[in-house]
Structure 1
C-alpha cells in the first residue's frame, strides 16, 4: 500500500472522529444532553404526535451518534404511545438512525476496514461479503443499533442495499422483545 493511500485513509478516519467529537461537544454545550431524558421524549411525543415523532426520530439519531442507549427512547415511546405504537415508532427511529449513521460514517470514513491486513479481520469481512443481508440481520438481532456496530458496518464496505435490508429484517425481533419486557416492568411501576 502506498504512503499516499495510507495517509488519505487515516485523514478520512481522523475527520470522522472529529465530526463525531464536534457533535458530542455541541450536544454538551447546548445543554441538549440534559434534555435527552425519558420525560423529555415522552412530553414531545404526547404534545403533538406528528411533530413529536419527528423530534423523537431526530433525537434518536443524535443520541445514537453520541452513544446513548436505545432503551431510553423505547421506554419514552412506550410511556407516551403504548407498547405497539411505541414499538413501531422506535423501529422507525432506529432504522432511520442506522441509515443516517451509515451514510455519515461511510461518507467520511469510506471502507477503511478493508485496508486492515489481518487474517481474522479478512475472514470476518469475507463472511460479510458472501452473506451480507444475513450477517447484518444477525448482527442487528444481537446488537440492535449499537453505535460501534453501525460504525463498523459502514467502514466494512458492505453495500447500502444489503445493509438496509439486513437492518430492517434484524431490528423487529429485539425491539419486540424489549417492548414486551418494558411493558411488563412499567405495569409494575407507579408511573403516571
Structure 2
C-alpha cells in the first residue's frame, strides 16, 4: 500500500476511534475526578481501569498529565508515579502495535528529504534518540504514531521508552504533589 494511503488509514482509524469514544459516553469517564475515585475505591480494578483508559486516551490525543495527576492525588507521588510509569509504558506499547499494524512503516517509505534525514538520525542512534524524545515529549500521541510508522525496531522503541519516561514522570509527580499541597488537596 502507498505510504500516504497508510497514513490516511491511520488518521481515519483515529477519527473513528475518537467518534466511538465520544458517542459511547466514555468521555465522561475520562476526568480527573473519575480516575481518582476509581483508584480510591479499589486499588486493583482502579489501576486496571487507569491503565486501560490511559492507553485509550493516548491513542485519541488525551494528555497523559490528566492520568498522572489522578494517580498522584489518589496514591501519592511515589505510588502515583509508579502507576503512571506502568500505565504510560503499557500505553506506548499498545499505541506502537496498533499504529504499526495499520500504518506499517509509512514514514520510512515517504520520498521526502526531511523525513529521510530525520529517520537517518533515528537509525544511527535509535535507543538514545527515543530516550531524548521521551524526556522531551513523554507520551505525546503524535510522537508514538511517528515512531511506530518510522520502521524503528520494537525493542529499540521499548528500551528507549522505558529509559526515557522515568525522569519526566518523576518531575510531574513532584509538581502535582506540590500543587496538591498548595491547594490543600491531600493524596490518599
- 1:157 aligned counterpart, secondary structure: coil
Stretches of structure 2 lacking an aligned partner (at least 5 in a row): none
Larger radius of gyration: 1
Matched, 1:73 2:67: yes
Matching residue within 78, 89, 101 for 1:95: 89
Provide the aligned length of Structure 1 versus Structure 2.
Answer: 186
Distance 1:183 1:190 in 2: 10
TM-score by length of 2: 0.95
1:93-143 deviation line (CA, Å, top 9, x unaligned): 000111000000000000001122222221110111111000011000000
Normalising by structure 1, report the TM-score.
0.93
What is the aligned-residue RMSD (CA, Å)? 1.1
2:128 is equivalent to residue 125 of structure 1: no
Per-residue deviation, 1:24: 0.4
Task: Please point out which of 43, 47, 64 is paired with 1:53.
Answer: 47
State how 1:111-150 maps to structure 2 within 5 Å. Answer: 111-150=105-144
Aligned to 1:157: 151
Which runs of 4 or more aligned residues in structure 1 lie more than 2 Å from their structure 2 counterparts after TM superposition? 9-15
Distance in 2 between the 1:45 and 1:38 partners? 11
1:181 aligned to 169, 172, 175, which one? Answer: 175
Deviation of the 1:68 alpha carbon: 0.8
- Cα distance in 1 for residues equivalent to 2:91 and 2:109: 26
- CA shift at 1:41, angstroms? 0.2
TM-fit CA distance, 1:14: 2.8
**1:18 Cα deviation from its structure 2 partner:** 2.1
What is aligned with 1:20?
Answer: 14
CA distance in 2, matches of 1:137, 1:84: 22
Distance apart, 1:20 and its partner CA = 1.1
Q: d(CA) in 2 for partners of 1:147 and 1:115?
A: 21
RCO greater where, 1 or 2, for CA within 8 Å and sep 6 or more? 2
What is the CA distance between 1:16 and its match in structure 2? Answer: 1.8
